[in-house]
Amino acid sequence: MKKPGVEIAVGIFIIAGLLCLAYISIYLGKINLFGTGNDTYEVKAVFSSVTGLKENTDVQIAGVNVGKVTKIRLDNYVAVVAIKIRNDIKLQDDCIASINTMGLLGDAYIEISPGGSDVIIPPGGKIRETEPPIDLKKLIGNIAFGKVE
């Protein structure tokens, strides 16, 4: 004799498990299903070198994530980096964007040092002051061969 109550309970348990798995996958993957992507604005920054920087890399102010790198392209032999910044973060026009690494050999990310100006960079605007990453190989070579300046 079949027990439909047990089969229904197992079916509900499996469906609940699949829903939990889907929710965790979406939450951890930071997928935006409902189009609430208007909570950021884009700015651009021009660097002489973006060695180690990749798309979807974090952008930080004082160690706090405030955005992501969305696109890196080459334009007239300089790297133009498109950055999405949270709407609640306002960047002054004299802020400085620098490429740093997490630890000695970690991933590259962009650190923004706030400025002191009252003028705010508008959406679609440009960060004027940038600093490329430190060339670690060159620095170590200079130290090894006594060419430290």
Amino acid 112: pLDDT: 94
Considering the domain architecture, whether residues 1 and 72 belong to the same structural domain is answered as no
Angstrom distance (rounded) from CA 8 to CA 124: 55
Considering the domain architecture, whether residues 2 and 57 belong to the same structural domain is answered as no
Considering the domain architecture, whether residues 92 and 23 belong to the same structural domain is answered as no
Considering the domain architecture, whether residues 76 and 12 belong to the same structural domain is answered as no
Considering the domain architecture, whether residues 48 and 81 belong to the same structural domain is answered as yes
The predicted-structure confidence for 78-104, as pLDDT tens digits, reads as follows 999 999 999 999 999 999 999 988 876
Most confident of 34-43, 104-113, 124-133: 124-133
Most confident of 20-24, 99-103, 119-123, 138-142: 119-123
Tally of domains in the chain: 2
Considering the domain architecture, whether residues 5 and 48 belong to the same structural domain is answered as no
Considering the domain architecture, whether residues 47 and 14 belong to the same structural domain is answered as no
Tell me what the mean pLDDT of segment 68-73 comes to.
94
Amino acid 69: pLDDT: 94
Tell me what the mean pLDDT of segment 122-148 comes to.
80
Range of the domain at 16: 1-31
